[in-house]
Amino acid sequence: MQRRSRLTDEAVDAVREAVDLIDLVSEHTKVERRGQRFVALCPFHKEKTPSLSLDPERKLYYCFGCGAGGDALRFHMELTGDTFATTIEHLARRYGIPLRRASGPDADGRPDRSERIQAALEAAYDFFRAKLRTEPVPQQYLQRRKVPSELISRFGVGYAPDDWRTMIEDLSRRIPVPDLESAGLIARSPKAPDRPYDRFRNRLMFPIRSPAGRLLAFGGRTLGDDQAKYVNTNETDHFRKGTLLYGLDAARRGIREQGRALLVEGYFDVLGAAASGIDWAVASMGTALTGQQVRLLSRYTDEVVLGYDGDRAGIEAARKAAGLMLEAGLNVRRALFPAGQDPDSLRLDEGPEAVRATVAEARDAVAIEIDDLPSRAELDPRLRAREAARVRTLIDRVGEPIARRGYFETAAERLGVKVDVLLRESAAAAERPAAPDSPEPAARPRPPVTSSIEEQVLRLTAAAPDLRGIEWPAPDAFFDPALRAIYEAMREQAQAGAERIDSGALVDVLGRRRGTDNETDRPVDRIAGLLLQRSSAFSESDESELRVSLAELGRRFARQRLNLLAREINRAQREGDMETLHRMIEEKQQLSRQLYRQSGR
Ligand SMILES: [Zn+2]
């Protein structure tokens, strides 16, 4: 095992200081000078004319073709799949920076916990791969499912043998047992806690990787009659299932080339899609799609084709997923698989052409719902009202106003009512506080609409020549965590009296952060796009747009807070918690007055 040091902020700073972005990018693609900037053919998508823009001063890149962007560290991570830590080490060696060790428990240079888990996972990966090559059971199974051997290698599918201790006995010669346990590869029974056993037995093993390709976990499908068809390595701080999409590391390039992603349910659907020539499919791994998964996907594309099973449960899941994705500002299409068929079973029954055709014919997800509405010929008015309400809540989540209006018009025509009826109902629903018995509010509420207003505010703030006299709402007004971090840093500068944003200092502050979600969402990568996209001068209308948008963000937050207060006041009343009740009623009145004043201006 390589001896590694822990990274300090100073080490990260020193590397970021030393790195030469142009030199780094030139290694992979031809760079040309254009005035102050440099341009290059983008290595992240296929193109003939250069759309990758490079800023050598702030060391940021942004591609106008595919939206890839970030700092020099991100560029290296994206191209190599290295982790943040490995990237720093690699670049430190390259630019001759000595890495000093941090003080603390690991000051002796022992690899830190995440590196030990990584080593355990990699060892298990090699073990599972080797077993697949020698054992007949998984080979026969994969043959029956007609999985091409090229795909088995591309996706690194392996096999956990049908035994309790084969893996642990093999791996514990190289990897300490506690590390295997931290990696979620072994389990212990309460009856014999000192005799750990293999967590995965007689299962086909699918490696789950970060978008950059780092191995994070495994999903195992039983080849026997185990009750649990699928089992994952247990969730750790290293691996949270709801933050990842299976297959994204392999599909990234295809998604950017196609300009869209196919979202399916399981591992075999991703393989089945790939076997049908669709190398831009990712899976939510069986569970309901999460907001984090949607945000992750939206970093790579703005159009998603839903390829869920054609049965009742699949349609229901697709509807929920569509709502989440519309809220995130994505265009959503639905591929209509026959009932009981998913991409992989359709490939086996009717061949890869059938899968390609079904995906190619995918239709706008909202339009499908509108077409499903009972027509004006349907006589039961209550049925029509109920269906209308369901579709209206879906249309409400479409962020783009012109598209939303268009959907309402089509739906009204279909239902045989005036469009105003639907629009009034929609406006009324937006004003209504949430019902008191609705589920408890999450710690941080989901963004109600696309977050593009947040990006717009940041873009304008970065370009504004005079920031004095502007009112800055609290950072909580930003729902997107990476954008919130950028806003906080900008607001700090403005409140310290800066006339304009010092973008170099901003990039320095943010560049040190690793970001959440397995290093995929570093604020500095988002700011690259915001800073490099804008080239024209700041006009007077920009100035007023900035003020209006900031105020709108403040109001959006206040409205949401009001909804939450209404629910909480209700709860406090039920529970007789008078102190909380008074405090919240007071806050509610203050907020209402504030909102009223602002809208009256
Ligand atoms: Zn690109």
482 contacts 526 by C-beta, under 8 angstroms: yes
Place 77 in a pLDDT band, splitting at 50, 70 and 90. confident
Q: Does 399 or 313 have the greater pLDDT score?
A: 313
284 Cα–ligand 1 center, Å = 25
62 Cα–ligand 1 center, Å = 8
d(CA 70, CA 510): 11
Q: Indicate whether 556 pLDDT > 90.
A: no
Q: Indicate whether 121 pLDDT > 90.
A: yes
247 Cα–ligand 1 center, Å = 20
46 Cα–ligand 1 center, Å = 7
29 contacts 46 by C-beta, under 8 angstroms: no
The tokens describing 274, both together, are 């790939």
Task: Give how far Cα 257 sits from Cα of 117, 325, 412, 449, Å.
Answer: 34, 20, 37, 27
69 Cα–ligand 1 center, Å = 9
Place 143 in a pLDDT band, splitting at 50, 70 and 90. very high
State CA 584 to chain mean position distance.
34
424 Cα–ligand 1 center, Å = 43
The architecture CATH gives domain 9-94: Alpha-Beta Complex (3.90)
In this structure, the number of other CB atoms found within 10 A of the CB of residue 183 comes to 29
Tell me, what's the pLDDT at 110?
54
Q: Indicate whether 431 pLDDT > 80.
A: no
Place 304 in a pLDDT band, splitting at 50, 70 and 90. very high
507 Cα–ligand 1 center, Å = 21
Tell me, what's the pLDDT at 461?
93
Q: Does 163 or 390 have the greater pLDDT score?
A: 163
Of the candidate ranges 54-68, 187-201, 422-436, the one whose mean pLDDT is the lowest: 422-436
Q: Indicate whether 448 pLDDT > 60.
A: no
117 contacts 183 by C-beta, under 8 angstroms: yes
At 261, the amino acid letter reads A
Tell me, what's the pLDDT at 101?
53
Domain 113-132+150-239 bears CATH identifier 3.40.50.1820: no
Tell me, what's the pLDDT at 378?
64
The dihedral built from the CA positions of residue 339, 345, 350 and 352, taken in this order, carries a sign that is positive
Domain 248-361 bears CATH identifier 3.50.50.60: no
Q: Indicate whether 325 pLDDT > 80.
A: yes
For residue 139, the SS3 value is: helix
Residue 325's nearest CA partner among 283, 357, 366 is: 366
306 contacts 263 by C-beta, under 8 angstroms: yes
Torsion on CA atoms 214, 216, 222, 226, rounded to nearest 10? 180
Give the model confidence (pLDDT) of 156-186 as tens digits.
999 999 999 999 999 999 999 999 998 999 9
Q: Indicate whether 572 pLDDT > 60.
A: yes
283 Cα–ligand 1 center, Å = 23
Can you tell me the mean pLDDT for 217-233? Answer: 89
Q: Can you give the three-state secondary structure of 169-225, one letter per residue?
A: HHHCCCCCHHHHHHCCCEEEECCEEEEEEECCCCEEEEEEECCCCCEEEEEEEECCC
Q: Does 44 or 148 have the greater pLDDT score?
A: 148
Q: Indicate whether 361 pLDDT > 80.
A: yes
In this structure, the number of other CB atoms found within 10 A of the CB of residue 370 comes to 19
For helices 72-80 and 84-94, the axis angle rounded to 10 degrees is 110
> What percent of the chain has pLDDT above 90?
35
- Judged on CB neighbours under 10 Å (0-12, 13-18, 19+), 192 is exposed
478 contacts 454 by C-beta, under 8 angstroms: yes
452 Cα–ligand 1 center, Å = 20
172 Cα–ligand 1 center, Å = 43
What CATH number does the domain located at 452-600 have? Answer: 1.10.860
66 Cα–ligand 1 center, Å = 4
190 Cα–ligand 1 center, Å = 52
- Judged on CB neighbours under 10 Å (0-12, 13-18, 19+), 174 is exposed
Give the environment of ion ligand 1: residues with CB less than 5 A: 42, 44-45, 63, 65-66, 68
Where does the chain hold its CATH 3.40.1360.10 domain(s)? 248-361
Q: Indicate whether 439 pLDDT > 70.
A: no
Q: Can you give the three-state secondary structure of 371-432, one letter per residue?
A: HCCCCCCCCCHHHHHHHHHHHHHHHHCCCCHHHHHHHHHHHHHHHCCCHHHHHHHHHHHHHC
d(CA 436, CA 568): 8
Q: Does 439 or 424 have the greater pLDDT score?
A: 424
311-317 contact pairs (CB < 8 A, 24+): 311/339, 311/340, 314/265, 314/342, 317/265, 317/288, 317/289
52 Cα–ligand 1 center, Å = 6
Q: Does 498 or 443 have the greater pLDDT score?
A: 498
d(CA 177, CA 299): 37
65 Cα–ligand 1 center, Å = 5
Place 444 in a pLDDT band, splitting at 50, 70 and 90. very low
Q: Indicate whether 327 pLDDT > 60.
A: yes
Residue 440's nearest CA partner among 547, 527, 570 is: 570
Can you tell me the mean pLDDT for 553-559? Answer: 86
In this structure, the number of other CB atoms found within 10 A of the CB of residue 303 comes to 15
Can you tell me the mean pLDDT for 35-54? Answer: 85
Where does the chain hold its CATH 3.90.580.10 domain(s)? 9-94
At 30, the amino acid letter reads K
68 Cα–ligand 1 center, Å = 6
Where does the chain hold its CATH 3.90.980.10 domain(s)? 113-132+150-239
Place 106 in a pLDDT band, splitting at 50, 70 and 90. very low
> What percent of the chain has pLDDT above 70?
89
Question: The tokens 């390259």 sit on which residue?
Answer: 94
d(CA 487, CA 481): 10
Can you tell me the mean pLDDT for 443-470? Answer: 72
The tokens describing 457, both together, are 């505010």
Q: Does 445 or 389 have the greater pLDDT score?
A: 389
Q: Indicate whether 326 pLDDT > 80.
A: yes
Instruction: Write the DSSP assignment of 262-296 as a string of letters.
Output: EEESSHHHHHHHHHTT---EEE-TTSPPPHHHHHH
Give the number of residues written for the chain.
Answer: 601
Where does the chain hold its CATH 1.10.860 domain(s)? 452-600
283 contacts 264 by C-beta, under 8 angstroms: yes
